[in-house]
Amino acid sequence: MLSRIAESFYWLGRYIERAEATVRLLAEHHQLLVEDQSVPHATGCAVLLEALSMPDTGVDTPHELVRVLVGSEIDPSTIAGAVSAARSNARAIRESLSQDTFEALNSAHLALSRGIAFAASPGVALHNVLERLLVVNGVVDWTMPRDEAYHFMVLGRELERIDMVGRLLSIRHDLLWPSSGPAATLRAAGGLSPFLRSGMAITGADARRFLVLDTTFPRSMRVCAADAEEAVRGLQRRGASDSSLLLREVGMLRSELEYARTPTAREIEQFVDEARGAAQRAGDEVNRAFFRQHGTVVWSH
């Protein structure tokens, strides 16, 4: 398939995931700030902005934090920006997407660009956005053929997921809010119920171990790495060339996480850093192997 089209699918996967993960994280974090004022708002806001690589512009209220992170179409680190970027990618490949997928995404985009009533009840508003993004994911999941395009999209989603779980874990909810923090971390990844079902008691260390190494939860870094590897193998089967370095990157990450002995809390933090690093290298490799040089070249005389 055309590299440009593949790239749009890849980034569509990434941006949808980024938007969803950011919404979940913001919703939980906002809840903590409001409920438990033991952490100064300025500090609480700053850690989230830092985790998302956003500039700290002196945000010091939960309300302001929501406003900044819902953000605008021009910054793809924000929710509105990620959804808008997802939509532009979808527009470029509209012919290859199901009509439902485009419409679902478009409605999420329109809702955000019209400005949902965040001021009144940010939690409800964020939940509405989340619902729309869930619809997008659902439609994609049951309308897209499992072809090369799909594998590119999944690869993008999984690499973004590893990165976003890494960002989530870079915020020490468990240290800032010792009582409610660990559950919030799990909830921000949609992982509280699965964690509880596994029969463990919620501690900061176990929650973090769960999001890195669990064998079944789809947002654990280990499962993400396995899914990314599977996507790359799917691409190879369909003739995508030059993917051996990429396979090595995601495969090594997967095996490292898969064959890890029960690690210490410190080793967990190392895994997090390594996984984010590997995801970043894999992203670079995707660019190099499949998309490189198709960007607009400006010619000089």
Partner 1 sequence: MTTAPADAANAPVAPFDEMITPDGTPRATHAAVMDTLTSIGASGLEVRARQRDAYLDRHGITFTLGERERPLPMDLVPRLLMSGEWQRIEAGVIQRLRALEAFLADVYGPGRVLADGLIPRSLVTSSTHFHREAWGISTPNDVRIHVSGIDLIRDEAGEFRVLEDNLRNPSGVSYVLENRRTLAHVLPEVFAAHRVRPVNEYPERLLDALKAAAPPEVSRPTVVVLTPGVHNSAHYEHTFLARHMGVELVEGRDLYCRDNTVYMRTTSGPEPVHVIYRRIDDDFLDPVHLRPDSVLGIPGVINAARAGRVTVANAIGNGVADDKAIYPYVPKLIRYYLGEEPILPNVDTFDLTDPDQRKHVLAHLDRMVVKPSDASGGYGLVMGPSATDEELAQAARDVISSPRNYIAQPVVTFSTCPTVVEDGRIAPRHVDLRPFAVNDGRNVYVLPGGLSRVALPEGSLVVNSSQGGGSKDTWVIDDGVGDERPAVEDWSDDGATVPWPPGYNATRRDNSPSAHDDRILQQERQQQQAGDRAAGGTPC
Partner 2 sequence: MAGRRLRITHRTGYRYAEVVEASFNEVRMTPMSAEGQLLLSHTLDVLPAAPIQSYTDYWGAHVEAFDVHVPHRMLEIVAISTVDTPPLPPYRAGGSWLQVHDPVVQDRFVELLRSTTYVDDAAQDPDRAWIVERMREEKDPESAAHLATYEVRRRIGYQPGVTDVSTTAAQAWRSGHGVCQDFTHATLSLLRGAGIPARYVSGYLHTEEPAVGEPVVGESHAWVEYWDEGWHAIDPTNDRAVGSAHVIVARGRDYADVPPLKGIYAGGQSEGLGVSVEITQL
Binding site for partner 1 (CB under 8 A): 1-4, 6, 91-92, 94-95, 99, 148, 152, 235, 239-242, 290, 293-299, 301
Distances (CA, A) of 202 to 36, 178, 208: 18, 11, 10
Tokens of residue 214, six digits: 């669990």
Task: State the nearest-atom distance from the C-beta of 106 to partner 1, in Å.
Answer: 12
Q: Which is nearer to partner 1, 243 or 280 (CB)?
A: 243
Binding region for partner 2 (CB under 8 A) out of 16-24, 124-132, 147-155, 290-298: 290-298
Choose between 120 and 297: whose C-beta lies nearer to partner 2: 297
Largest CA distance in the chain: 68
Distance CA 267, CA 264 (A): 5
Q: Which does 58 bind (CB under 5 to 8 A by kind): partner 1, partner 2, none?
A: none
Q: Which is nearer to partner 1, 199 or 239 (CB)?
A: 239
Contact status: 297 vs partner 2 (CB under 8 A): yes
296 DSSP 8-state letter: P
Question: With b meaning 16 or more CB within 10 Å and e meaning fewer, what string describes 126-154?
Answer: bebbbebbebbbebbeeebeeebbbbbbb
Alpha-carbon Rg of the chain, whole angstroms?
A: 19
Residue 287 near partner 2 by CB under 8 A:
no
Contact code string over 192-231 relative to partner 2, x by CB under 8 A: ----------------------------------------
| DSSP H or E stretch at residue 118 | none
Binding residues vs partner 2 (CB under 8 A): 293, 297-301
